Structure 1
Amino acid sequence: MTSALTTTPATGRRSRLRGLDGLRFLAAAVVVGYHYTGIDTGYWDQPPSTVFPTLNNVTRYGFLGVELFFVISGFVILMTAWGRSLPGFVASRVARLYPAYWVAVLVTVGLQVVWTGGRQLGWFDDLTNLTMAQEGFGIASVQGAFWTLWVELKFYLLAALLLLVGFTPRRIVAFAVLWPLVGEVFRLAQWSFLEDLFIVEYAPYFGVGMLLFLIHREGGTALRWAAMVVTGLLCVEQTVRHAPIGTRVVGVEISPVVCAVVVVAMIASVWLVADGPLRHVDWRWLSVVGALTYPLYLVHGQFGFAVIDTLHGHLSPYAVLAVAVALALTLAVALHYLVERRWHDRLRDGVLRLLRG
């Protein structure tokens, strides 16, 4: 969920991977489609497979957009941390995540004062949500999609520890491969605390992203591509194992084969825009929509659900869907231009001064 900037080793200049910006927005759009038409939230009063019989055949797999986010995050967070001090890395992450998130929490709490169909939490739970660590305390998030932010925070902690040790290509390869492999040991041993702490379920996706960035920055070697194969296979294994769970959650069949193909395509798509034939894509509009990714992810849930809950039965399903998407995009634009662009640099500089004393 970070801007797709990369450093060219030969020149030291930073250039934008606009294709990666586009992939970030695609991942967000897929998640929005999943929440509105893929999974049965109850707001349509019928299963979405009945309301959108054709569309649902695709959007039921939209949960995999989160996995694409994690692959991109592995790439971008390593890119962000490379060459930075630990205070600089922490300040950049705080400034990137929190301003829009704080406003999203507050406006969601305000929505749930007037709309009783959403999550009704107590004041203490609402305040705890401002930390972004509520899931770690066993407290529900004000929006369901916020669970991924806790996963991201734990990945940032691991990345910060690696930064303290020092980035080298061999250390990154070792970390990206051993992290998910050791995680599999934790899973098989049923050490649930360590499974959760080391985000075992999603470790291979972050690892693949890190390796893709390493290959992008330093070039591919036999060792790095072998590591890619190992972590990629672990990604496929994870998603195939998750397919039956997805079937129970969505209420319609989730094909393990389709999941595996989509995951391979996701990994390939990141390589395509970073180092493959699409690396020269430089359409400015991709960066414009990419900037809306994070705010769209933050606000689409409860606000879209409120639209669906209020308007279904009064308009055609596709008209209701259009209104929900339009509202989510409008709020995302407002959040980006009125909050992120105004407060990012101020908060980053303030945190940096605090950490440096």
Structure 2
Amino acid sequence: MSRLHALDLLRFIAAISVVFYHFINRPEATAFKWLAPVTQYGYLGVPIFFIISGYVIAVSATNRSAIGFVKARMIRLYPTYWIGLIFTLIFLISFGGHIVIEGSIFFVFLANLTMFNDLFGVSNLDGVYWTLHAELRFYGCVFLLMLLKVFDRFYIWLNIWLVMSIMHFFIDQPFFMGWFISPVYSPFFIAGVIFYLFQRDGMSLATLLMLLVTCLLSLVRAYEITPSFIVAASHYQGVMSAFIIFISFLFFLILTCRWVTIKKYPCITMLGTITYPLYLIHNVAGRIMIDQGKRFVSEELAVTVTVAIMIVLSFYIAQYIEPRATKIFKSSLILFERILNNFLSLQIFNK
């Protein structure tokens, strides 16, 4: 199945929306206030990321072993994540004395290296990393489905997941759902998988009904989470949030049904490659840059220069640092596999 290159563009739009949200709509911000009514919805880039993730993971996991899937996800996530984590740590140590970190900063850093720090009750070095925990839970569920050889039975487990998500919205049951997947953001992941089915099998009555229900639940959830991201959110702002998600669903539908196709352009592919590092490094380091910069220049200029620096740094990471780090990580995984296999073989031989 051919890759949707338009997703690279959508990925970048989602990422830059989050960047503008964090830079322009931070509580102490005074710059670009005329843009704030628009950028206040930038946090919606996160649920859009989750839709993309649902689609991409469905594509990635198809015709792949469970172990192969885990390895591919680790290679995709960890090297760049560690780069972003080290980058953030350097800025916190150098300039972030005013930023409060719960616990020893080095202990928090070491726990964050695992990406499972939330399971141990350790805070994130950067607040935006919470989305990675939601992603990991989704990957874990996909891994279990693959391990049980039922991943390809999409219509069974998607409907079960959707029913559980609806039940959790109305009666907070099953109460344990949050232990392994986010009840609030589940409809966005589900939608991504459904869009994959649209592209693979075409539109059918079953997938269309699933999408309609998922879309409705996603709109309600988008309305519901608005006060968590917009201070003293009004009914209008909640409706606007839901409307933006609705437009995103329409965009995905148009792409996956091939009603409109976007050709592959190197610039669009490049925007897709810088999205992950941009998301990882922009928040804490970017805010520190703005705070330091506005001591010497206007806040508008500090924000503008910081955005430009973040994009350039993300390009540099994606083009030069990430490939080398990924190569080293792959080699380490292969070496670890060999050592583990030799150890297991030795244990079996000794028995």
| Superposition TM-score tier, normalisation by shorter sequence | 0.7 to 0.9
Partners of 2:250 and 2:228 in 1: CA distance: 25
Contact (CA 8 Å) 1:186, 1:195: kept in 2 or not? no
1:25 equivalenced with 2:12 (yes/no): yes
Give SS of 1:220's match. coil
Return the letter of the residue paired with 1:61.
Y
Return the letter of the residue paired with 2:40.
R
What CA deviation, in whole Å up to 9, does each residue of 1:4-59 have, x standing for no partner?
Answer: xxx2xxxxxxx43211111111110110011001242x3x3xxx5xx323200100
2:228 paired residue number: 245
What CA deviation, in whole Å up to 9, does each residue of 1:301-327 have, x standing for no partner?
Answer: 111101111122532232111111122
Contact (CA 8 Å) 1:273, 1:281: kept in 2 or not? no
**Among 211, 214, 226, the residue aligned to 2:197:** 214
Cα deviation, residue 272, structure 1: 2.5
Cα deviation, residue 107, structure 1: 2.1
1:118 paired residue number: 99
Contact (CA 8 Å) 1:18, 1:282: kept in 2 or not? yes
Q: Measured at CA, do residues 355 and 164 of structure 1 come closer, stay the same or move farther in structure 2, by a change above 3 Å?
A: farther
Cα deviation, residue 257, structure 1: 1.5
1:329 equivalenced with 2:311 (yes/no): yes
Return the letter of the residue paired with 2:210.
A
1:36 paired residue number: 23
Cα deviation, residue 167, structure 1: 5.1
**Among 56, 72, 87, the residue aligned to 1:92:** 72
1:274 equivalenced with 2:261 (yes/no): no
Structure 2, unmatched stretches of 5+, are 342-351
2:116 paired residue number: 133
| TM-score (normalised: structure 1) | 0.86
Same amino acid, percent of matched pairs:
30
Partners of 1:91 and 1:246 in 2: CA distance: 34
Partners of 1:168 and 1:195 in 2: CA distance: 21
Q: Measured at CA, do residues 242 and 336 of structure 1 come closer, stay the same or move farther in structure 2, by a change above 3 Å?
A: same
Partners of 2:4 and 2:66 in 1: CA distance: 24
Return the letter of the residue paired with 1:151.
A
Contact (CA 8 Å) 2:141, 2:180: kept in 1 or not? no
Contact (CA 8 Å) 2:203, 2:257: kept in 1 or not? no
Contact (CA 8 Å) 1:101, 1:298: kept in 2 or not? yes
1:62 equivalenced with 2:42 (yes/no): yes
What CA deviation, in whole Å up to 9, does each residue of 1:223-281 have, x standing for no partner?
Answer: 01111111111101111122233333xx5646121111101111222233333333243
Return the letter of the residue paired with 1:52.
F
Give SS of 2:140's match. helix
Partners of 1:243 and 1:282 in 2: CA distance: 35
How large is the Cα RMSD of the aligned pairs?
2.2
Return the letter of the residue paired with 1:155.
F
1:175 equivalenced with 2:161 (yes/no): no
Bigger Rg, structure 1 or 2: 2
Contact (CA 8 Å) 2:51, 2:190: kept in 1 or not? yes
Partners of 1:344 and 1:153 in 2: CA distance: 19
Contact (CA 8 Å) 2:255, 2:261: kept in 1 or not? yes
Partners of 2:327 and 2:259 in 1: CA distance: 34
1:162 equivalenced with 2:145 (yes/no): yes
What CA deviation, in whole Å up to 9, does each residue of 1:75-98 have, x standing for no partner?
Answer: 001101101111111110000000
Contact (CA 8 Å) 2:92, 2:285: kept in 1 or not? no
Partners of 2:156 and 2:255 in 1: CA distance: 25
Deviates more, 1:157-166 or 1:344-353: 344-353
1:302 paired residue number: 284
Cα deviation, residue 354, structure 1: 4.7
